[in-house]
Amino acid sequence: MIILRGIAVSGSIGMGKAFLFTSKPPELRRVRIPEKNIQTEQERLEAMLTSTRKELKELQAGIHKSLGPEFADLLEVQIQILSDPSLLETCKRNISEAYSAEYAFSKAVAEIARPLLDAKDGLFKERLVDIEDITNRVLRNLLSLPSVSIIDAPRDSVVLAHKIPPSEIVLLDPRRVRGLATEMGGRTSHVAIIARALEIPAVLGVEHLLEKLKDDEQVVVDGQRGQVVLAPTEHRVSIYAAEIREYAASRKSLFDEAKQAPITLDERKIDISANIELTSEIGALKRYGAQGVGLFRTEYIFLTKRRFPSEEEQYRIYSEAAIQLKPHPVIIRTLDIGGDKVLPGYEEANPFLGWRAVRFLFDNEDIFLAQLRAILRASAHGNVKIMFPMISDLSEIKRAKLLLKRASEELESKKQRFDSDMEVGIMVEVPSAALMADRMAKYVDFFSIGTNDLTQYTLAADRGNEKISSLFNHYHPAVLQLIRRVIGAGHKAHIWVGVCGEMAAEALGVALLIGLGVDELSMTPGAVPVACKIIRNVKVEELRRIANRALGYSTPVEVIRYLRRELSRKYHDLAVLFLERKNVCYP
């Protein structure tokens, strides 16, 4: 048995036989052709480029219909490469030197790829994956070779690969594939985004994965712990099988729980929403019982396109979400570029603390205004709200609202419809915003507390740094004091306050946040049923007393220990959730 570690990007556990996916282009030699065949060879290549482009467009149309526009957009880069006249021109020039079509094409795309080879930016590296993928596809078509596809993965298999290109990852079938692991990729890669949307357990960035693998051997992908287990022992298989059965049984029973309103025993309604990245997740959101979207992370639309989408492209996506979820709210966060989410051309020495989110958008008003207009136009189709991230100063709220007003006036001049009363809120994820919440509350309609960044910035502990992972803790008294301050300031100003960070998806966090007075909780769709179960079996007044006592402790360890003890004693039927070590709202 071998246990490898990587980045956990999609929760739950998958187990099955290994299916090794490889996508290496065919090996080519420098083949010369007779001069009399040059024109025929040029025509053969041009016809094959046209045919391959048509093949990709048909694939894109099918994906658009089955998975949505964001997934279909992953193929747009490849279609654009094949549509570039300069590519055909370079290929023809190479053929005119008496090279075969295969070698001429390979030589041409190598020139396109050369500047990307040394790129450090993950998105530029993904562009390289696109080029390799299109090279493979065209060469196999030219040589009439059979294609190797992820669609061939047998039922109950675990897909393992060095990397998976966009044209293949969109073919994943969650009914057949039990898990996914790759040597390349991170939390914001296209593979991670699609794995989460399809609810396939996935671990990426697993070093030396293929070196250790034997094809067709048993593999476990633990998307909760970030582990890949090769050739597990019978004992380990039985443990994971039991976890998978327990998960399936709990999930089935909790679907019924999620259909009931999230109202406490003393009749306080807590709004339960979902965090989403793509409109394709709306089906899961509804299945799990969420009442709308509490955080629509729009940067993932930008990431799947790997460019800045137009106003029209964004409008279509936002309005689709609004229509599907009407009358429930869809809270759209403006672009939060930076941190662990970057786009081509974005350069920042310190992306977590520097030129990020609204700071970037203020310096790129055309991008900001296009997104604001798209969101405003979508508000005509449903209950849309807008939220500005990474606010640290009151002047930023004023400036963002002025640009929103400007976008509104531009739409009015064109007689385009939008909701003039659309609610405007901010993410409270910077300590300065939490400390100034009483003043900021006068300028917005709601607060949404981002506990991930608020914890990170309050404790000066990078949430992605494993060396200091013990310091990153939502239950640190300093973080809890800031959360209570924000909730109090919001309610004093008569605005509602939500939480959309990871803390809202933790059993202890749900109970504690309700006790602190939060009005709304937004979490990953899969966490909704357990959160609903907790809400329906507690009393706000009891939780308020417990929360007040918890804030009297001096360390996060003391807070967690007290919450586990007191909540499990008070609510016996929920004890298994509050005592669970990993403490997340997943069955």
Known catalytic residues? 190, 500
Residue among 371, 370, 388 at smallest CA distance from 427: 388
Q: Among residues 82, 585, 487, 508, which one has the least CA distance to residue 290? A: 585
CA-to-CA distance for 501 and 527, rounded, in angstroms?
A: 12
Kindly give, in sequence order, each residue whose CB lies less than 8 Å from that of residue 289, ignoring residues fewer than 6 positions away. 255, 257, 258, 259, 272, 528, 529, 532
The three-point CA angle 467-551-491 to 5° equals 110
Helix (H, G, I), strand (E, B) or coil at 293: strand
Q: What Å distances lie between residue 125 and 71, 116, 280, 305, 344, CA to CA?
A: 19, 7, 25, 14, 10
In Å, how far from its chain's centre is CA 236? 30
Cβ–Cβ < 8 Å for 135, 102 = no
Apex 497 CA angle, 494 and 500, nearest 5: 165
The total of other beta-carbon atoms located within 10 Å of residue 255's CB is 14
Q: Residue 479, SS3?
A: helix
DSSP readout, 225-245?
TTEEEES--HHHHHHHHHHHH
Question: How far, in whole angstroms, is CA 326 from its chain's centroid?
Answer: 23
Q: What CA–CA distance (Å, rounded) separates 73 from 61?
A: 10
Rounded distance between C-alpha atoms, residue 205 and residue 470, angstroms = 22
Read off the DSSP letter of residue 208: T
For residues 512 and 461, what is the distance between their CA atoms, to the nearest angstrom? 22
Question: How far is C-alpha 112 from the chain's CA centre?
Answer: 29
Contact 13, 244 (CB under 8 A): yes
Q: What's the rounded Cα separation, in Å, for the pair 569 and 123?
A: 49
Nearest to 527 by CA among 276, 331, 326, 188: 276
CA 435 to chain centre: 29
Decide the pairing of beta strands 157-161 and 7-10: unpaired
